[in-house]
Amino acid sequence: MRKSSEIMGKKKYKKQLLNSLKSLGESEYLILKSMTNLMLQKELKENNITFKDGDTFSFKDNIFDYSEDKNVRRLAKLRRKMLKTMNKLVVKNKFKDKEIKFLS
């Protein structure tokens, strides 16, 4: 009986960790979206750069580190820490790809 409750406890713990990872993933996405919008609103306006419907804009992740806006750089630093923490959680807890497919 004791082993059964231990297994249930481990399953609940693992499920909670996965829920935490899911929340962190959603937060990371929102931070990325926010700092992209902040940077585009300020820097594109200052440099008189415009986009038309259907235009695309691609960039490397480290573009935020070179933003003139301190807030964007701070958000980029926070996001990097979040991604590093998420990766450590995945590695240390040996999650399988199918368990964390929501992160892709």
Picking from 19, 31, 21, the residue whose alpha carbon sits closest to that of residue 78 is: 31
Structure tokens at 99: 């368990």
Structure tokens at 28: 């990371």
pLDDT level of residue 4 (50, 70, 90 thresholds): low
Give me the residue spans of the domains in the chain.
2-103
**Mean residue pLDDT across the chain:** 86
pLDDT level of residue 32 (50, 70, 90 thresholds): very high
Write down the pTM of the prediction.
0.76
Give pLDDT tens digits for 55-97. Answer: 777 778 888 998 888 999 999 999 999 999 999 999 999 988 8
Structure tokens at 46: 């200052």
Q: How far apart are CA 9 and CA 11, in angstroms?
A: 5
Tally of CB atoms within 10 A around 17: 16
The yes-or-no verdict on residue 1 having pLDDT over 60 is no
